[in-house]
Chain A
Amino acid sequence: MKLNRIFILFILLLLGILFYGASYLGYIQESYRKLQIQITDPSIKTVLMTEEHKDFGLRSSPGFLYSQPSLLEGRTDVVSITPWLAPIIWEGSFDSTLIDSIYKQQNITIATTVFALGKYTRFLKEFLESAEQHYFVGFRVRYYLFTDQPEEVPEIKLGEERYLTILKVPSLDRWQDISMGRMEILEKLTKSEVANEADYIFCLDVDTKFYGPWGVETLGRLVAVIHPWFYDYPRDQFTYERRPESQAFIPVGEGDYYYTAAAFGGLFKEVHELTKYCRERQSIDASKAIEALWHDESHLNKYLLYNKPSKLLSPEYLWRDISSSTRHVKVIRLSHVAKNNVEVRPNA
């Protein structure tokens, strides 16, 4: 009998603990709820007003059909803006005196990445020297140079507040892999400490040279450059990836502009999203043994179709060749340099 009583007491004790525990947990829930209410207390509004609570990107849905935007036709007064009201930068559309003064006050830093693997190191001298002459002159620039041969990087005299960091990366046998591999490296870079050292980032091809001013008119949340060979093509002739098996697939009937992967930029957060997207999609394609028609450029175009850039740079900002010109491109700022593909690429 005594044993029974002990057991009964023991069970009662356990029940007691149970109830206490349940009420304690209920109390905790309550106090967390109170804290949640505290957050909306106006006395701490100054802290929270600066918190980013919404994502203001310009996302658009796949399969959504509408007339192709034009660069040359339509109201002649509107070629400098996209149908989603992003500016398209052409000479004459901005006043550099004005905007330089606006940005000079903000003490900004522009990070700039460039990849020079294998024989591509030969392009570095002209790229960097011309950049020092034309690229964000008067502003703080940090170059991040990725190469598999750091010893091949030439000595370049940099201006005041211009810095160069050399980052060693492994060699690769295929130029397509080098091109696509950039995405993963950039994805990581845009989440690294580098993001704390600069406000904007641009990713440029190294086999290029500056011939004209490239300044703060190019800065924006997410900036894309219109490909110099396709700016007057109808969208159905854009060299998008057209195979549905690829992640980069864009159907005929869709498309705004054909963008180049040789130059793109924006805020770190945005460029991170873009490069992450491309890297992920490239991986999926690779696992299915498929490679998009224009590699990272195909994936970039897909991203930018559904995540619209906030600013477009006209082909002045990445031209075909300094020796050619069209009536629309009055200033050439950055241009591909002539190269012998066979000679300079690691593979055909």
Chain B
Amino acid sequence: MQHQNVYSFLLVLIGMSLAGVIYLGFSSTWSSRSKDYQGITILSKSEISGEQRKCSNSSSGAKENQKILYLQSPQGLLYKQPTVVGPDGPVSLTPWLAPIVWEGTFDPTIIDPIYKQKNITIATTVFALGKYTQFLTAFLESAEQYYFVGFRVYYYVFTDKPKEVPLVKLGKARHVVVLNIPSSNRWQEITLRRMKMLENLIEDRLAFQADYIFSLDVDTKFYGRWGVESLGRLVGVIHPGYYQTPREQFPYERRLESQAFIPSTEGDFYYGGAVLGGLVKDVHELAKTCREQLDIDAAKSIEAVWQEESHLNKYFLYNKPSKLLSPEFLWQDFKAKTNEVKIIRFSQVIKNYAAVRPNP
């Protein structure tokens, strides 16, 4: 009798533990399954909810909401040149309604909290080859003072001399990733290769790690706030040397043979190649297109007058940026301040070309 009681007790115990294990197993696989389920459905392109369908690859031909945000403009379309400085002072909207960011147009008190909530990551690429590594300290130190302060930033430093990358004290949630790339004998080639490097970096890493990306020249320094007012789908900066120049005098590539050719009747602004940015996906598109155009030119042994900047300008003319940064965001140290540019945030330092470039 006693034995039977013990056994039945043991049986009940085992039964309960079995039930418990089954329940736990079931609930954990269910939750992990439902979390992974989203991933699995995307992979297998099976039934997705209405919202996700909009955003996933348009296998069914459904419109991609993101595409709507592109601003593609046909070649040969003629219209009055947009002004940067109007009769009442700097203009804050392009004719295609992209904001032009000047001091006074935005309120950091409003926009900083908006972006803080989104927990974004900003990737920032910079190329420091050969003697250009000497600019890194000032670049990084000033960036830590002014550039997206309080946000998560990953600097990607492309260099052929990783040992010369300085150790700069970084703030919280700020990281430097050093990428070793081959040297080059010509500064023109270095600048031309940037598009390919950018394209590859985005494909290899950034697609999942960052929301926005900026590609900046290294021979520069920050002097003032550069924050979330600069974020947008596709962002270009107005070149400080040409913001009051008529379009026929923009230093666009004017030879028909080059892919970067722009006729003298066309042009919105002259954008600086030292700064470009946007959503990772959109910058990828830009880098890829420019790289392809650069390759076509290279195959014909033609090099655009301002290298990748020429190709960038062509891209921006027909794929309009969704936001423009005023020349406050790209100045030149040797230029004096002007009436319109009341604050200088980022500027190219004075350098001795002969001393830093691998070739004249």
B18-26, B123-131, B165-173: which lies at the interface: B18-26
Q: Does B63 contact A (CB under 8 A)?
A: yes
A64 in contact with B113 given A85-B106, A94-B93, A95-B95 (CB within 8 Å): yes
A48 in contact with B18 given A58-B114, A85-B101, A98-B73 (CB within 8 Å): no
Q: Does B77 contact A (CB under 8 A)?
A: yes
CB neighbours of B204 from chain A (8 A): 42
A47 in contact with B32 given A101-B73, A102-B320 (CB within 8 Å): no
B96 in contact with A80 (CB, 8 Å):
no
A28 in contact with B107 (CB, 8 Å):
no
Q: Does B56 contact A (CB under 8 A)?
A: yes
CB neighbours of A94 from chain B (8 A): 93, 95-97
Q: Does A21 contact B (CB under 8 A)?
A: yes
Cα–Cα distance between A69 and B111 once the two chains are bound (Å)? 13
User: What is the chain B residue whose CB lies nearest that of A60?
Assistant: B114
B14 in contact with A14 (CB, 8 Å):
yes
B89 in contact with A195 (CB, 8 Å):
no
Q: How far is the CB of A76 from chain B (nearest CB, A)?
A: 4
The interface bits of chain A over 248-289 (1 if a CB of B lies within 8 angstroms of the residue's CB, else 0) are 000000000000000000010100000000000000000000
User: What is the chain B residue whose CB lies nearest that of A219?
Assistant: B68
The interface bits of chain B over 209-250 (1 if a CB of A lies within 8 angstroms of the residue's CB, else 0) are 001000000000000000001000000000000000000000
Q: How far is the CB of B62 from chain A (nearest CB, A)?
A: 7
B33-41, B154-162, B189-197: which lies at the interface: B33-41
Q: How far is the CB of A40 from chain B (nearest CB, A)?
A: 6
Give the total of A residues in contact with B, Cβ under 8 Å: 76
Which residue from B15, B56, B70, B107 sits with its C-beta under 8 Å from A47?
A: B56
Which residues 39-58 of B sit at the A interface, judged by CB distance below 8 A?
Answer: 39-40, 42-43, 45, 50-52, 54-58
User: What is the chain B residue whose CB lies nearest that of A28?
Assistant: B29
CB neighbours of B40 from chain A (8 A): 35
The interface bits of chain A over 41-58 (1 if a CB of B lies within 8 angstroms of the residue's CB, else 0) are 010111111111011101
CB neighbours of B55 from chain A (8 A): 50-52
User: What is the chain A residue whose CB lies nearest that of B70?
Assistant: A106
Q: Which of B90, B110, B117, B320 has the most CB of A within 10 A?
A: B110
CB neighbours of B15 from chain A (8 A): 14
Q: How far is the CB of A120 from chain B (nearest CB, A)?
A: 31
The interface bits of chain B over 310-343 (1 if a CB of A lies within 8 angstroms of the residue's CB, else 0) are 0000000000100100000000000000000000
Cα–Cα distance between A21 and B73 once the two chains are bound (Å)? 62
Q: Does B79 contact A (CB under 8 A)?
A: yes
A102 in contact with B96 given A49-B207, A66-B107 (CB within 8 Å): yes
User: What is the chain B residue whose CB lies nearest that of A8?
Assistant: B7
User: What is the chain B residue whose CB lies nearest that of A272?
Assistant: B51
B25 in contact with A267 (CB, 8 Å):
no
Q: Does B99 contact A (CB under 8 A)?
A: yes
A39 in contact with B43 (CB, 8 Å):
yes
Q: How far is the CB of A86 from chain B (nearest CB, A)?
A: 8
Q: Does B185 contact A (CB under 8 A)?
A: no
A50 in contact with B72 (CB, 8 Å):
no
Which residues 11-44 of A sit at the B interface, judged by CB distance below 8 A?
Answer: 11, 14-15, 17-18, 21-22, 24-25, 28-29, 32-33, 35-36, 38-40, 42, 44
Q: Does A321 contact B (CB under 8 A)?
A: no
Q: Does A167 contact B (CB under 8 A)?
A: no
Cα–Cα distance between A84 and B92 once the two chains are bound (Å)? 12
A54 in contact with B33 given A81-B105, A94-B93, A95-B96 (CB within 8 Å): no
Which residue from B42, B86, B99, B113 sits with its C-beta under 8 Å from A60?
A: B113
Q: Does B345 contact A (CB under 8 A)?
A: no
A11 in contact with B104 given A35-B36, A46-B57 (CB within 8 Å): no
CB neighbours of A22 from chain B (8 A): 21, 25
Q: Does A108 contact B (CB under 8 A)?
A: yes
Cα–Cα distance between A316 and B21 once the two chains are bound (Å)? 67
Cα–Cα distance between A80 and B105 once the two chains are bound (Å)? 9
A98 in contact with B77 given A64-B113, A87-B97 (CB within 8 Å): yes
Which residue from B21, B80, B203 sits with its C-beta under 8 Å from A21?
A: B21
A66 in contact with B109 given A36-B36, A75-B104, A101-B73 (CB within 8 Å): yes
User: What is the chain A residue whose CB lies nearest that of B121?
Assistant: A54
A87 in contact with B50 (CB, 8 Å):
no
CB neighbours of A61 from chain B (8 A): 113
Q: Does B300 contact A (CB under 8 A)?
A: no
CB neighbours of B36 from chain A (8 A): 32, 35-36, 39
Cα–Cα distance between A262 and B205 once the two chains are bound (Å)? 46
A25 in contact with B25 (CB, 8 Å):
yes
Q: Does B257 contact A (CB under 8 A)?
A: no
CB neighbours of A108 from chain B (8 A): 68
Q: Does A165 contact B (CB under 8 A)?
A: no
Q: Does A59 contact B (CB under 8 A)?
A: yes
Q: Does B11 contact A (CB under 8 A)?
A: yes
Which residue from A47, A76, A87 sits with its C-beta under 8 Å from B89?
A: A76
A217 in contact with B67 (CB, 8 Å):
no
CB neighbours of A97 from chain B (8 A): 77, 79
Q: Which of B17, B32, B323 has the most CB of A within 10 A?
A: B32
Q: Which of B65, B71, B95 has the most CB of A within 10 A?
A: B95
20 A/B residue pairs, CB under 8 Å, sorted by A: A4-B3, A21-B22, A22-B25, A29-B28, A39-B42, A40-B208, A42-B204, A46-B57, A47-B45, A49-B284, A51-B55, A75-B104, A76-B89, A77-B90, A81-B92, A83-B105, A84-B110, A94-B96, A95-B80, A102-B71
Binding site for A on B (CB under 8 A): 3, 7, 10-11, 14-15, 17-18, 21-22, 24-25, 28-29, 32-33, 35-36, 39-40, 42-43, 45, 50-52, 54-58, 62-68, 70-74, 77, 79-80, 82, 86, 88-93, 95-97, 99, 101-102, 104-107, 109-111, 113-114, 117-118, 120, 203-204, 207-208, 211, 229, 281, 284, 320, 323
Q: Knowing that A33-B32, A85-B323, A101-B73 are A-B contacts, what are 14 other residue pairs whose CB atoms are under 8 Å apart, sorted by A's residue number?
A: A18-B21, A32-B33, A40-B208, A46-B57, A51-B56, A60-B110, A64-B109, A64-B113, A69-B107, A76-B89, A77-B91, A102-B320, A106-B68, A269-B51
